[in-house]
């Protein structure tokens, strides 16, 4: 199966999984950006959003997020699989370290190409939210293209790459995820043992949980920089130098303690772990079905 077809299948899996667990992503974003919100429990946050803004608010920004996710996953997975195939043709057997390096390179390519879409989708996802933090400004975008137009006209083209540095550092997230996923899958399938959907789900969940917990503070900084709608405190309009990242991290610790860096982690873990696990199950099932339809008996080279 070609890298492009595999990437398309991977996108189908990610879109399905993200749609199912999208409200959890909504709760996570509110907790990351609206830091004065006192409720920390995911069910309470979801109940507050429904009560104050209506049930549809749980899926606000779904289309731009899904569009960004699909493009991002296609770019990442296509690059990852292409590089992996090139590496497989060279000397040496598959190793976790090699998977990590390939994942990092694929992540850098993905960040450079897709960050503008994620900046726009963060703005649209939080548009119309009832913020507890009075320092946050509301945006008035009519859609994806209007958001791009307003950001460029009012804030400059560079704003579309807000949060690029933390995003580049965060390429370690999917790199760590894929390293553990590939390593655990190789071990589970050792000796030609068929891996069940339940095992794939569990392996995907564990891999994502490790990656998410390790990188979550940077994800919070990334969300703050992407949203960028703060009144005069310097958080907006910043591409994200190392000093800005450190300042945001220290400010968060000063105001909320070390645990403030992990505000929203519960929702993030629930959303990303379940999404990643379901995504890998859907991906493996569609891949197997595709090979069956194509009449191919050989195993997919991972």
Instruction: For residue range 129-157, list pLDDT tens digits in order.
Output: 888 888 888 889 999 999 999 999 999 99
The pLDDT value recorded for residue 148 is: 95
Instruction: For residue range 9-57, list pLDDT tens digits in order.
Output: 666 777 777 888 899 889 988 888 887 787 778 889 999 999 999 999 9
Query: What span, in angstroms and rounded, lies between the C-alpha atoms of 45 and 145?
Result: 30
Q: Domains in the chain, ordered, with CATH? A: 3-294 (1.50.40.10)
Query: What span, in angstroms and rounded, lies between the C-alpha atoms of 236 and 248?
Result: 11
pTM as predicted: 0.70
112, 127, 132, 158: which is closest to 62 by C-alpha?
127
**DSSP letter at 230?**
B
Low-confidence ranges of the chain (pLDDT < 70): 1-11, 90-94, 96, 230-241, 290-291, 294-302
């Amino acid at each position: 199966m070609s890298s492009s077809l595999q990437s398309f299948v991977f996108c189908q899996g990610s879109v399905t999984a993200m749609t199912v667990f999208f409200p959890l992503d909504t709760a996570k974003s509110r907790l990351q950006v609206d830091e004065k919100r006192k409720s920390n429990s995911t069910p309470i946050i979801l109940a507050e959003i429904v009560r104050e803004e209506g049930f549809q608010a749980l899926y606000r920004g779904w289309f731009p997020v899904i569009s960004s996710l699909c493009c991002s996953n296609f770019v990442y997975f296509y690059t990852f699989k292409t590089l992996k195939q090139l590496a497989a043709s060279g000397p040496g057997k598959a190793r976790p370290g090699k998977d990590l390096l390939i994942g990092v390179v694929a992540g850098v390519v993905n960040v450079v190409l897709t960050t503008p879409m994620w900046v726009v989708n963060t703005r649209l996802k939080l548009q119309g939210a009832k913020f507890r933090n009075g320092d946050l400004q509301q945006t008035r975008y009519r859609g994806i293209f209007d958001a791009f137009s307003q950001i460029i006209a009012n804030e400059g083209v560079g704003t579309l790459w807000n949060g690029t540095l933390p995003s580049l550092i965060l390429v370690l997230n999917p790199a760590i995820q894929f390293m553990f996923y590939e390593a655990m899958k190789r071990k589970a399938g050792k000796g030609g043992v068929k891996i069940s959907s339940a095992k794939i789900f569990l392996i995907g969940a564990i891999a994502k949980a490790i990656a998410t917990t390790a990188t979550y503070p940077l994800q919070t900084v990334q969300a703050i920089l992407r949203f960028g709608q703060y009144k005069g405190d310097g958080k907006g309009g910043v591409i994200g130098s190392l000093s800005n990242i450190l300042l945001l991290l220290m400010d968060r610790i000063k105001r909320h303690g070390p645990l403030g860096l992990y505000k929203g982690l519960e929702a993030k873990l629930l959303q990303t772990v379940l999404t990643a696990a379901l995504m890998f199950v859907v991906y493996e099932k569609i891949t197997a079905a595709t090979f069956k339809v194509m009449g191919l008996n050989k195993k997919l080279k991972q």
